[in-house]
């Protein structure tokens, strides 16, 4: 699955027209190029080229998100990876692994952060074994998700947090999915703007059937068409993941962390830390204030280890929030 090139990129990557296009896509991920062209005063061809460029650069992507339990995914973990060789080679191997939804290069005593999404404990263990066996991986630490207290699923956020299923909402599939439904879902997860003709070809069915099944999947809420953003490419310069050791009621601490405006994700975990927080800050000064003052002012935080993300190599965002 092509997740786009999300490498590098603290530099400004969008202009005012791009921002308008992103806003239109955020409102309706399947809006036509013709409708967008009328809004920005460019030709449909020029709009198509701009949207293609935004997707290829990893600035934004239109996807079909789906509650992970619908497809049987029920084990999620963030993996901290320590490397004793070239980070580039290890990152490339993790990007190629089908279990990873996120691969990011960070700084500190962890060299890479990956998120894995699996079907059952055995698949999770196999994914961890594959990561450990990658050349130059010195060690890795798994933080399994327990409960999600906040998940800002929009422009903010890097971790895909497939573990939103752990909120206990128990999203049930309103009808049985057949093989054609599943093929359409898989294509929409890769490209939420795929045409009915493309969906029909991928699912080996007719145009009319593909169109009917698409509308049933979307109208029932099984699939949500969403436009998601890489914050480092739309103006939010600093993204940080914080591993927190806490003392006291994790639910209460998690809820207090969720109230901080920079915080996009808060979840409790099973592993070396109690909580994982993701935050998006406008600049280095804002990040310093967040980490040094307001985060540590939350009662119950014993220690906090911050890992700024310097590069995102894989970003899927295929799960419903």
**Three-state secondary-structure class, residue 252:** helix
Q: Within its chain, how far is the Cα of 306 from the centroid?
A: 19
Beta bridge partners of 76: 117
pLDDT of residue 9: 43
Integer Cα distance of 281 and 181 in angstroms: 39
Helix (H) or strand (E) holding 251: helix 250-258
Cα atoms found within 13 Å of the Cα of residue 303, Cβ hemisphere only: 4
Q: What is the DSSP letter of 319?
A: B
pLDDT of residue 233: 61
pLDDT of residue 257: 95
DSSP 55-118: HHTTSEEEEEEE-GGGGT--EEEEEEEEESS-HHHHHHHHHH-TTEEEEEEE-SS--EEEEEEE
Convert the pLDDT of each residue in 93-106 to its tens digit: 999 999 998 899 99
Integer Cα distance of 273 and 242 in angstroms: 10
> Could you tell me which of 310, 305, 319, 318 has the C-alpha nearest to residue 112?
310
Spatial CB neighbours of 232, under 8 Å, sequence gap ≥ 6: 9, 10, 239, 309, 312
Spatial CB neighbours of 106, under 8 Å, sequence gap ≥ 6: 112, 113, 241, 307, 308, 309, 310
pLDDT of residue 229: 73
pLDDT of residue 158: 43
Cα angle 239-14-150, degrees, rounded to a multiple of 5: 35
Integer Cα distance of 100 and 202 in angstroms: 23
**Three-state secondary-structure class, residue 1:** coil
Integer Cα distance of 4 and 50 in angstroms: 14
Q: What is the DSSP letter of 172?
A: P
pLDDT of residue 166: 45
Q: Is 249 exposed, middle or buried (0-12, 13-18, 19+ CB in 10 A)?
A: exposed
> Within the chain, which residues score under 50 in pLDDT?
1-11, 153-170, 320-321
pLDDT of residue 235: 57
| Per-residue CA distances from 153 to 222, 226, 230 (Å) | 17, 9, 11
The model's pTM: 0.73
pLDDT of residue 155: 38
**185, 67, 156, 312 alpha-carbon torsion, rounded to 10°:** -60
pLDDT of residue 224: 85
pLDDT of residue 168: 42
């Amino acid at each position: 699955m092509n997740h786009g090139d999300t490498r590098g990129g603290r530099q400004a990557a969008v202009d005012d027209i791009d921002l308008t296009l992103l806003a239109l896509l955020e409102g309706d991920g399947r809006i036509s190029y013709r409708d967008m062209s009328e809004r920005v005063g460019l030709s449909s061809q020029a709009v198509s080229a701009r949207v293609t460029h935004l997707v290829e650069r990893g600035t934004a992507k239109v996807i079909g998100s789906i509650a992970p339990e619908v497809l049987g995914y029920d084990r999620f973990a963030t993996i901290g990876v320590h490397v004793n060789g070239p980070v580039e080679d290890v990152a490339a191997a993790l990007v190629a692994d089908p279990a990873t939804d996120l691969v990011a290069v960070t700084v500190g005593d962890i060299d890479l952060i990956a998120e894995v999404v699996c079907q059952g404990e055995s698949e999770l263990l196999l994914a961890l074994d594959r990561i450990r066996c990658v050349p130059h991986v010195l060690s890795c630490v798994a933080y399994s998700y327990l409960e999600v207290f906040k998940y800002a699923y929009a422009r903010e956020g890097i971790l895909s947090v497939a573990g939103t299923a752990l909120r206990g909402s128990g999203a049930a599939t309103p009808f049985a999915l057949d093989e054609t439904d599943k093929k359409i879902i898989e294509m929409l997860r890769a490209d939420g703007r795929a045409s009915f003709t493309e969906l029909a070809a991928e699912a080996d069915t007719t145009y009319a059937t593909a169109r009917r099944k698409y509308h049933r999947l979307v109208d029932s809420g099984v699939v949500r068409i969403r436009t998601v953003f890489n914050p480092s490419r739309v103006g939010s310069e600093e993204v940080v993941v914080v591993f927190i050791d806490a003392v006291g009621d994790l639910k209460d601490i998690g809820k207090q962390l969720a109230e901080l405006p920079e915080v996009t994700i808060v979840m409790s975990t099973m592993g070396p830390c109690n909580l994982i927080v993701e935050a998006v800050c406008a600049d280095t000064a804002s990040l310093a204030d967040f980490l040094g003052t307001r985060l540590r002012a939350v009662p119950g935080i014993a220690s906090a280890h911050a890992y700024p993300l310097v590069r995102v190599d894989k970003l899927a965002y295929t799960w419903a929030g």
